[in-house]
């Protein structure tokens, strides 16, 4: 088994930082919790991770600091999790069930490299 990071991406205006304050937000949060619990029960969730706030900066080179954290497509990484899967295909299948894709967001799946000392 290998570890993969899931990076949750969406448009900046689609991130609701106060999800529990509206009925729609509570429903979305409930779908997230159910999805996370499902992969946890299967032993695939290694680290639930954390949501990230929209504000941020991007540093390029030594002096270039710009508002961000925006990609060229103006998507933001809204959070991350670490999962375990047998390969990239299985990790992508797990990510495909993530509730963020229902709302037009995406999940970037990246294998984690481990350095040996």
For residue 26, the domain's CATH number is 3.30.70.1060
Domain of 58?
2-111
- Mean pLDDT (whole number) for 105-113: 93
- Please tell me which residue, 42 or 78, carries the higher pLDDT value: 42
Given a contact cutoff of 8 angstroms between Cβ atoms, the answer to whether 66 and 58 are in contact is yes
Residue 116 lies in a domain: no
Predicted confidence at residue 52, as pLDDT, reads 86
**Has residue 34 been placed in a domain?**
yes
pLDDT tens string 74-99? 778 889 999 999 999 999 999 999 99
pTM: 0.81
E-state strands within the chain: 2-10, 45-51, 56-60, 64-68, 76-85, 106-111
Cα 3 from Cα 61, distance rounded (Å): 30
Query: Percent of the chain at pLDDT above 70?
Result: 81
Residue 77: how many CB atoms within 10 A of its CB?
Answer: 16
3-state DSSP assignment of residue 71: coil
Residue 28 lies in a domain: yes
Number of structural domains in the chain? 1
Section 44-49 average pLDDT: 96
Q: Which of 75, 107, 104, 80 is nearest to 91 (CA)?
A: 107
């Amino acid at each position: 088994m290998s570890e993969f990071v899931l990076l949750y991406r969406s448009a900046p205006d689609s991130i609701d930082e106060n999800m529990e304050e509206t009925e729609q937000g509570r429903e979305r949060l409930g779908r997230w919790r159910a999805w996370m619990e499902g992969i946890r029960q299967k032993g695939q969730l290694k680290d639930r991770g954390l949501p990230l706030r929209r504000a941020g900066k991007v540093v390029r080179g030594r002096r270039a600091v710009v508002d961000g954290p925006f990609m060229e497509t103006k998507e933001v990484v809204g959070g991350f999790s670490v999962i375990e899967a047998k390969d990239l295909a299985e990790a992508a299948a797990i990510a495909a069930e993530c509730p963020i894709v229902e709302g037009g967001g995406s999940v970037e799946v990246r294998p984690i490299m481990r350095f040996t000392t």
